Amino acid sequence: MPRLLHIQCSPRKDRSASQQVALGFIDRYLSHHPHCQVSTLDLWDLDLPEFGQHAMDAKYAGLQGLALTPPQQDAWNTLKALAAHLHNADLLVLSVPLWNYSIPYKLKHFIDLVSQKDILFSFTAEHGLQGLLQHKTAVVAYARGLDFSPQSDTPAQRYDFQKPYVEAWLGFVGVKEVHALIVEKTILGNEVDQNARREAVQRARELADHLK
């Protein structure tokens, strides 16, 4: 039975364009895979821990091959439990708003917590860096307020630090098959927003129809 994890990164909930597109994908995906087990991680409802002194010391102790003290081990176990959500899924669906040309700080916070050696990646002199989220697929719904087409004032090539960052991170932690769904112009008036959402949801459904 496939396991799908939806990581929600917008605090706008029902009004969120990225979430609407992601849910369009998930609804259609479930029609093809009715036994798929779906779980949700809403980063705005989670009480994400600070990456504090004990977690920091645990990280550097691990890098140096030193034993962890009990408080360091507790902090490390918290990070492992968070990362387990990723390990326990076959299909990762992320809904990601664009904030100041990049990702919301809650998603960066989550990434900073879980992206640890021997949790999401390994490192050896022989093999270098290797992501540990193997054999997974990701579908990322990106929402942007403005127009990022090449002829716009904010062309993606120059202003998009959202999609390249998320894709670099997914690649780093081992996710090789990544599909992007983009909804833009969500703050350029109600009609423009609604049209953009409708078209993006349609693309999301088509992706779900074709995804193995």
Ligand X SMILES: Cc1cc2nc3c(=O)[nH]c(=O)nc-3n(C[C@H](O)[C@H](O)[C@H](O)COP(=O)(O)O)c2cc1C
Residues that bind ligand X (CB under 6 A): 10, 12, 16-19, 97-101, 143-146, 186-187
| Residue 135 beta carbon to ligand X: minimum distance, rounded to whole angstroms | 28
Q: Which is nearer to ligand X, 76 or 142 (CB)?
A: 142
17 vs 83, which CB is nearer to ligand X?
17
Backbone torsions φ then ψ of 187, nearest 5 degrees? -115, 20
Q: Which amino acid is at 158?
A: R
Least separation in angstroms between CB 155 and ligand X: 12
117 or 198, CB closer to ligand X? 198
Q: Are 153 and 20 in contact (CB under 8 A)?
A: no
Pick between residue 97 and residue 131 the one whose CB is nearest to ligand X: 97
As a whole number of angstroms, the distance between CA 93 and CA 74 comes to 29
Q: Measured from the CB of residue 17, what is the shortest distance to ligand X in angstroms?
A: 4
Question: Secondary structure of the chain: what % helix, strand, coil (to 5)?
Answer: 45, 20, 35
Angle, helix 17-32 to helix 190-210, in steps of 10 degrees: 30
Q: Provide the minimum distance between the beta carbon of 149 and ligand X in the complex, in angstroms, as a whole number.
A: 12
CB-nearer residue toward ligand X: 104 or 174: 104
Which among 212, 156, 151 is positioned nearest to 184, based on CA atoms? 156
Task: Please identify, using beta-carbon distances, which residue of 173 and 196 lies nearer to ligand X.
Answer: 196
| Tokens of residue 47, six digits | 């009480």
Q: Which of 174, 98, 89, 79 is nearest to 134 (CA)?
A: 174
Q: Residue 115 Cβ, how far from ligand X at the closest point, in Å?
A: 23
> With contact defined as beta carbons under 8 Å apart, do 132 and 174 qualify?
yes
| Closest separation in Å from C-beta 15 to ligand X | 7
